[in-house]
Amino acid sequence: MLAKRIIPCLDVKDGRTVKGVNFVDLRDAGDPVELAWNYSNQGADELVFLDITATVERRKTMVELVKAVARQINIPFTIGGGINEIADADALLNAGADKISINSAAVRNPKLIDELAAAFGVQFVVIAVDTRSIGDKNVVHLNGGRLPTERQTLEWILEAESRGAGEILLTSMDHDGTKGGFDNGLLKTVNDAVHIPVIASGGAGKVEHFVDVFEKTNVDAALAASVFHYGEILIPDLKRALQSNKIEVRI
């Protein structure tokens, strides 16, 4: 059995790490390069950096940040935000990123997934999906969660997988920042339906939530932000707790 991964997520705006609740009310959480170094030393398995306003403000993701992070850490990291074409991804890969994450651009142009997978390999392509429950459906949202689409979440994820997505980063906007636990029902439905790794995102508030998400959904990885940024959960403590619950992790 593969070890489960613990992944801190750094939402970056104007060169600083920020965190909000339900994708709004952002507050500062520190320097992303310093945080990356700290998480690497704590035993994080991977990192995800999301330039959360790149798509909205039509900016390109920060190549300079990627270079700075790559110089400081020796664990894999993914970067997303404002990636619209092969050249954007190529620049990030050359700067030191291990994977790229696309969200809005993929929904608007699904063929981009095919192109990225063909150019770099499926292991390079993470599809981030921001979803919110509307009525009895889970609906994909774009532009940092601001824009609902016509796409239903599971249907879109299955299409993304068929086009060459190597991994799904699934964020429940209803749970994001609430610290009330992951959306285990949705995560299990998605994880049971796909053959690629799923990263759970949105709602982590305490160690038990990580135990629950792995036990109840069998996802490959769990991602969180504020509980790590503000020192509410330390990664070594979290991994020891997971281990004591017979969940395999890298110590």
Q: H or E segment at 201?
A: strand 198-201
The verdict on residue 120 lying in a domain is: yes
pTM of this structure: 0.93
Q: Which domain holds residue 90?
A: 5-244
Give domain status of residue 72, yes or no: yes
**Measured distance CA(234)–CA(165) in Å, rounded:** 31
Amino acid at 156: W
- pLDDT 10s digit of each residue in the chain, 251 long? 689 999 999 988 877 777 655 545 566 667 889 999 999 999 999 999 988 776 655 455 578 889 999 999 999 999 998 899 999 999 999 999 999 999 999 999 999 999 999 999 999 999 999 999 999 999 999 977 788 999 999 999 999 999 999 999 999 998 887 899 999 999 999 999 999 999 999 999 999 999 999 999 999 999 998 899 889 999 999 999 999 999 999 99
- What distances in angstroms separate CA 196 from CA 29, 50, 110, one per listed residue? 31, 21, 18
- The single-letter DSSP state of residue 2 is P
Q: For the domain that residue 210 is a member of, what is the CATH number?
A: 3.20.20.70
Q: How many domains does the chain have?
A: 1
Residues in contact with 115: Cβ distance below 8 Å, sequence separation at least 6, in sequence order:
86
Question: Is 32 a domain residue?
Answer: yes
Q: Is residue 38 part of a domain?
A: yes
Residue 105 within a domain = yes
In a domain, 251, yes or no: no
What are the catalytic residues?
A: 11, 130
102's tokens = 């696309």
Question: Is 233 domain-assigned?
Answer: yes
The answer to the question of residue 250 being in a domain is no
